[in-house]
Structure 1
Amino acid sequence: MSESLHAGQMLARAETETGLSDYGDPTLPHRFGLVVDHLNSLGLDEDGRRRAEDVCHGLLTSRLQFFEDRNRYPVAREVIQAPMFVTGEPRSGTTLMHALMSVDPDARALRFWEVMYPSPPPGLAGPDDPRRARADADWHEINTLMPKWLHSHPYNDMLGDGLPEDERTWAFDFRVLTPTAWWRVPMQTVVGGLPTDAVAQYRIHKAMLQQFQYRRPRRHWVLKGFHGFRLAEMFAAYPDARLLWLHRDPVQVAASRTMMMADILEGIVGPVDLKAAAAMHLELTRAGITNTMTNPLVDDPRILHVRYTDFVADPVDTVRRYYEFCGRVVTEPAASAMRDYLARNKGDRYGKFRYSTTLLTDIGEDLGALHDEFRAFRERFGVEIENRG
């Protein structure tokens, strides 16, 4: 391999190998070129470049095949009716909430094996679809590379059957470069700096839901992602959607997300500068809280706001409240499955996830001042200060 990656050559290779050329978006080649420019700026060694090229090739061919499916099958006719979303700042209980809803026999959730290998439509394949085993192998590799991630996110033991965030449906759109798509490449996560287009992103998200619903029994969708900055576009794509928004003490959010991402990135790129990470995640938390306090759609009647502490106190009752909000009922089989999930999946089953707000004091922040800074948010949503480390 040469010392630089070449976007044009990789696009041509994907098109030649698949015999396809429709990426579903004429702006994709330009955006892919920006990603390749970023990869070339990292100073990757030969092995790193090979891994980056492999990831790019996989995403490009997957995208070509995915959009060809929409030409080959009537996937686009699928109606996505009244999906149920969960959102909130990182480390606010959204993943557990989503996991509980996903065990409802009448619900359907995205699965990693589907979003990692979306073509052909899973409804056309049998229960022994080899993509499941392939995704399981991927997740064994991820968990080996990043063993500490299981402390903060034990749900990763679900492997290919795990529950991706909605943002993972955009991996082959090259707008963000997140660990569950790019773990093989020794680089930092890229969550900003690339062109974003929320309308286009939800268009792909809906196309994914249609792909995975096609030729399968109809169930209601339960989904989870960081939708707070994209409320207008989300509701435009899904006017009949409902959204549960969990709210937690922002000081704990900033500290916990810092340690979680440090654990993830340590497995990919090595030791992490915790002070720099804490400063970055505090600013990301501030941006999220600012959006929550200023976005007029936060008060949309389709949104149910719930305190993290209330959810932790009674998770199944919180699910029941949300279902009632959506005009649905938690059946006894669903409630039983949720209680069983909680009994069988203790949050510390791979060890205690440890973090401390000293991550913030170490960068010169005063916790009292931070609590004052977030006082208006806490008062608006009834969020109390969490008295822990």
Structure 2
Amino acid sequence: MARLDAQQLLENAMAETGLSDWADDSFQERFTLAVAHIQSIPMDEPGRQAAAENIRWLLTDRLRFFDDRNRFPLAAEVIERPMFASGEPRSGTTLMHALMSVDPDARALRFAEVMHPSPPPGTIEGADARYLLADAEWREINAKMAKWLHCHPYNDMLGNGLPEDERTWAFDFRVMTPTAWWRVPMQNLAMGLPTDAPAQYRIHKAMLQAFQYRRQPKYWVLKGFHTTRLKAFFDTYPDATLVWLHRDPVMVAASSTMMMADIMEGIVGQIDLVKEAQAHLERVRWSIGHTMSDPLVNDPRIHHVRYTDFVADPIGTLRGYYGFAKREFGARQEQAMRAYLADNRGDRHGKFHYSTQVLVDAGYAIGDLNDEFAPFRERFGVPVEVRG
């Protein structure tokens, strides 16, 4: 079986595009590590071919994207007072972002643009073909990972869907997300490649600049897991505001476990739920530990909200965040958001089932976990969440 050759893959992408600037002196070394990781995963020949084609897509996109910054004055674009939703996974951030995205005065990232970021959308006359391409790709994703729609019904938006900010880094080979690697039969989509938060945020900002160029002025509304990278985040966006949703960490671990099991089952088959639960609980422990120790958690640009309050009154919660961010929240915003809630039931593709039983089955005592996270609950007023 042919092995993936990192240098040959790089050379092929340069030959295909006629470009050679990777825009990062460390990129080729990091890419070689990523290829070595992929090479270590048992795959048949079709899987290896899928990996090679996926890499070709990401490499050529990277070269073209950074070349756009030479062809157009994208670096001059000012990203003014962007609004971000953040928090632990499964804490309501996606719904909050979806509601913000229908604000008629706002602009959100869209999968079609992030998955195929060149050329800048504002330079295209007429219909943007990347939306048809991304729609087809998302139909493939939804067919392969049908259970994902149960916990993440927003995937029915296809190419017009709302990516997390981390998806802008797919072609940087620091993380490997399901929406970039769904055709490749491997489970370890997030692994120990070298990370560099300031460099990653530079790419994120570059995408906002590219997607804003020559388009109607609007403010950005975004969503990502920024809470463990606050210094780099605010260094990049000093006039940003961030609404941080806080949820019961035990329920976060349980829900995340089942969500990722549903996603990965569509890619690699049966998942070991015990190992998955252990991994997610450890990630939650690490993240909550960071929250409890980082002094920037108290930054005045952060608006802290309880998940339970958002679920009880999503519109009121967003009105509060807009007031905090000094953005108008008028009838246009409220009507658009209420219409979204009425037209997009969370269980429209089926009920997502999860409970803390998955943690019990992995050997954890829920009472002990509740005690472990008690200081976090007390600090942010987060109640123990009971789910039948």
Shorter-chain TM-score range: over 0.9
Separation of aligned partners in 2, 1:189 and 1:313: 36
> What TM-score, normalized by structure 2, do the two folds share?
0.99
| Residues 1:31 and 2:25 are matched in the alignment | no
Structure 2 CA distance for aligned equivalents of residues 378 and 126 of structure 1: 52
**1:76 matched to which residue of 2?**
75
| Bigger mean CA deviation after superposition, 193-202 or 40-49 | 40-49
Identity of aligned residues (%): 65
| Partner Cα separation in structure 2 for residue 38 and residue 75 of structure 1 | 34
Task: Report 1:268-283 matches (<5 A).
Answer: 268-283=267-282
What is the match of residue 138 of structure 2? 139
Once the two structures are superposed, residues 158-206 of structure 1 have per-residue CA deviations (whole angstroms, 9 ceiling, x without a partner) of 0000000000000000000110000000001332310000010000000
Maintained 8 Å contact 1:75/1:211: yes
Q: Is the 8 A contact 2:274 2:358 kept in 1?
A: yes
C-alpha deviations, 1:294-314, integer Å up to 9, x for none? 111000000000000000001
Structure 2: give runs of 5+ residues left out of the alignment. Answer: none
Matched with 1:264 is 263
Q: Does 1:162 align with 2:161?
A: yes
Q: Which residue number in structure 1 is paired with residue 151 of structure 2?
A: 152
Structure 2 equivalent of residue 302 of structure 1: 301
**Pair 127,222 (structure 1): closer, same or farther in 2 beyond 3 Å:** farther
- What SS does the corresponding residue of 1:364 show, helix, strand or coil? coil
For residues 255 and 294 of structure 2, what CA distance do their matches in structure 1 show?
A: 25
For the residues of structure 1 that align with 2:346 and 2:238, how far apart are their CA atoms? 34
Structure 2 Cα separation of the partners of residues 224 and 189 of structure 1: 23
Whichever residue aligns with residue 53 of structure 2, its letter is D
- Runs of 4+ in structure 1 displaced over 3 angstroms? none
Superposition pairs of residues 147-296 of structure 1, within 5 angstroms: 147-296=146-295
Aligned positions of 1:27-106 closer than 5 A: 27-106=26-105
Post-superposition CA distance 1:234-277 (Å, at most 9, x none) = 00000001000000011110000000000000000000000110
1:114-129 equivalent positions in 2, closer than 5 A: 114-129=113-128
Distance 2:64 2:376 in 1: 45
C-alpha distance after superposition, 1:206-251 (max 9, x if no partner): 0000000000011010010000110000000000010000000111
Specify the alignment match of 1:112 in structure 2.
Answer: 111
Q: What is the root-mean-square deviation in Å for CA atoms of aligned residues?
A: 0.8
Cα drift, residue 45 of structure 1: 1.1
1-side partners of 2:81 and 2:364: how far apart?
43
1:82, 1:333 → 2: CA distance? 20
What residue in structure 2 maps to residue 386 of structure 1?
A: 385
Contact 1:178-1:189 at 8 Å conserved across structures? no
Residues 4 and 35, structure 2, Cα contact 8 Å, conserved in 1:
yes
Deviation, 1:3, is: 1.8
Find the aligned partners of 2:253 and 2:125 in 1 and give their Cα distance.
43
Distance 2:39 2:296 in 1: 40
Q: Tell me the amino acid that sits aligned with residue 212 of structure 1.
A: F
Q: Which amino acid aligns with 1:102?
A: S
- Once the two structures are TM-superposed, the CA of residue 129 in structure 1 deviates from its matched residue by 1.0
5+ residue gaps, structure 1: none
CA contact (8 A) 1:170 1:204 kept: yes
Evaluate the alpha carbon distance shift between residue 127 and residue 331 of structure 1 in structure 2; reply closer, same or farther with a 3 A threshold.
farther
What CA distance in whole angstroms lies between the structure 2 residues aligned with 1:180 and 1:126?
27
- Give the equivalent residue in structure 1 for 2:355: 356
Aligned partner of residue 228 in structure 1, secondary structure: coil
Instruction: Name the aligned partner's letter for residue 137 of structure 1.
Output: A
Q: Secondary structure at the match of 2:228?
A: helix
2:44 corresponds to which letter in structure 1?
D
Q: Distance in 2 between matches of 1:159 and 1:117?
A: 14
1:6 maps to 2:5? yes
User: 1:127, CA displacement in angstroms?
Assistant: 4.8
Distance 1:280 1:124 in 2: 44
Aligned to 1:314: 313
Q: Assess if the C-alpha contact under 8 Å between 1:179 and 1:189 holds in 2.
A: no
Paired residue for 1:337?
336
The 2-side partners of 1:330 and 1:129 are apart by 31
Secondary structure class of the residue paired with 1:217: coil
Aligned pairs (5 A) from 1:358-377: 358-377=357-376
Given that residues 146 and 267 in structure 1 are in contact (C-alpha distance below 8 angstroms), is that contact kept between their aligned partners in structure 2? yes
- Which AA in structure 2 matches 1:278? A
Task: Give the total of aligned pairs.
Answer: 388
